Each structure stands twice: as C-alpha cells, then as structure tokens.
Amino acid sequence: MLLPDFNSEREKEKYFRSLNDEQKIDALNEMISDTEHIAFLGGAGVSTESGIPDFRSKDGLYHRKDKKFGRYKPEYLLSYDCLDNRPSVFFDYFRNNLDCRKIKPNDAHKKLAEMEKAGKLDGVITQNIDGLHQKAGSRKVWEIHGSALRSYCVSCHTEYGEDFIFENKEDVPHCPACGKMVRPDVTLYGEFLPQRAYEEAVALIRYSDLLIIGGTSLEVGSAAQLAHMYHGKYMVIINKGKTKMEGKADLVFHDSIGKVMNMIEI
C-alpha cells in the first residue's frame, strides 16, 4: 500500500477511517518510511507492560490501599510538600513503590531503540521516570518528569547514581559531601517540569512530521500540552483505552503498545 496524496483534511480523514486493522499497520509502516522526522511521546502505559503500575489506572498506585501510607493521598506522597515536611514518609514511600532498578524494557522500548539506531526516530519524550528507554538502548530521550534512577543533593547539587537513595540506610538520605538531603531527580507534585527537557521536547514535537503517541490517555498535564503543539503531517495514537485527541489523530490503535510497535518494520 502506498499512501495517496490527499487534497483535503477531510479526504485524509475519510481514507484512514476506512482502513481495517491490517491496513492500519501497513499505513503506519508507510508513514514511517514516508517521513523524515519521527518523534515518540509516551506515558505510563508504555511501562505498564514491563510491570510498572500506572499511577491512575484501576490497579495503579493511586488506588492501591496500603496500610502504612493509607492516611495520605498518593499525590501527597509524591509531592514537594511531603518531601519538605515529612521527608521520612516521602523516602519510605519512594523506596517501597518506585524502585524500578530491576525492571526490564518491553517490546515497545526495544522497537523505539531499534528505530533510533536505524535513523528512523529523532527522539523519545517520556513522562515515565523508570529509565527503561535508556536500558533498551535509546540515547535520545527527553524525560520530562525526571528519573528515579538519578538523585542529587539539594544544597551542593552533587549527583548520585541509581542506588544511592534505594541502598541508603538513613530514613532521609544525606549528601556525603555536605550533609544536606539527597533527593530523587523526579518532578514532584507542586514542582515545575525540568525546563530544558521540556523546551527541547517542544522543539522536537514542532520539528516532527510523524508523532507517535503511546500509553497515555492525554487527559491531563504535559503530554496533552505537547500533543496540542504538534502540527506535523501524521499523528498516530496507540493506547488501550480511549484518549482525548483521537479526533486529531490519523491512526488510532486501541491495543497493547508492545504488540503494535512489534509490527513496525524498519
């Protein structure tokens, strides 16, 4: 199948809406060979297939009843307010729920790394903090919510590796260099996104002519904002559930991200 030239948005929409599942995969592959600058924007759903719980889904962290932390809202436990006022509670929760050091990348991560290597992907923008894209081999990754595998001292800004917080025996880990607190390099509720990563993500989105969005419902926050900034040639959404911007997308797959990505041929 070769994608036709479309005379209008309406014609383009009609064409893509008429495709069956198999034709949609062919169309996705056509888009990939037809475009020069491809970006991937991913949310929690990319990691759930590696076994990392989503924050808001039914079985996600947000709904998990935990005796020890039951009196706090999960949003509070991952907030700057908690880190600042109840640091021992914050680190206890963080160590118990966000240790992703042993988690392995899945087919979606692997395919994206393969695409980058083949020169078919300009970069991955992710809301996930698990470092799985890098583990799969991706180099061009913009982590707009930071990474749980990095930490830094709040005072002297010395950076520490992925084991520092998780292996540290203190309730609140302290910097060996200056004695102040070492915190994870993740964006907490109540904090601004890392400005440089976000600005570079915006540039990547604006430069792309194919944007593949995966594993996010695009309901809130930064992923939705970024998706709205995209004005390139094709947009593809892969998500198990419904998403907000399906009207703007050319192709929508309500399916496992790993399964769909696996059918990409490069």
Residue 254 to residue 93: CA distance in whole angstroms:
33
Q: Which of 132, 153, 227, 236 binds Zn ion (CB under 5 A)?
A: 153
As measured in angstroms, the least distance from the Cβ of 224 to Zn ion is: 36
The residue annotated as part of the active site, out of 37, 109, 133, 145, is: 145
Q: Where are the beta strands (DSSP E) in 78-199?
A: 123-126, 141-143, 146-153, 159-160, 182-186
User: Which listed residue (118, 156, 203, 266) binds Zn ion by CB under 5 A?
Assistant: 156
Residue window 165-194: x/- pattern of binding to Zn ion, with contact defined by CB under 5 A: ----------x-xx----------------
Distance CA 114, CA 74 (A): 35
DSSP state, 106?
-
> For Zn ion, which is the closer residue by CB, 153 or 251?
153
- H and E: helices and strands count for the chain: 12, 9
Catalytic, 254? Answer: no
Least separation in angstroms between residue 98's CB and Zn ion is 22
- Specify the DSSP class assigned to residue 266: -
The beta-strand segments (E) located in 4-55 are: 38-42
What's the length of the chain? Answer: 266
Task: Give the nearer residue to Zn ion in terms of CB position, either 124 or 153.
Answer: 153
CB of 45 to Zn ion, least distance (A): 36
Residue ranges binding Zn ion (CB under 5 A)? 153, 155-156, 158, 175, 177-178
**Would you name the residues annotated as active-site residues?**
145
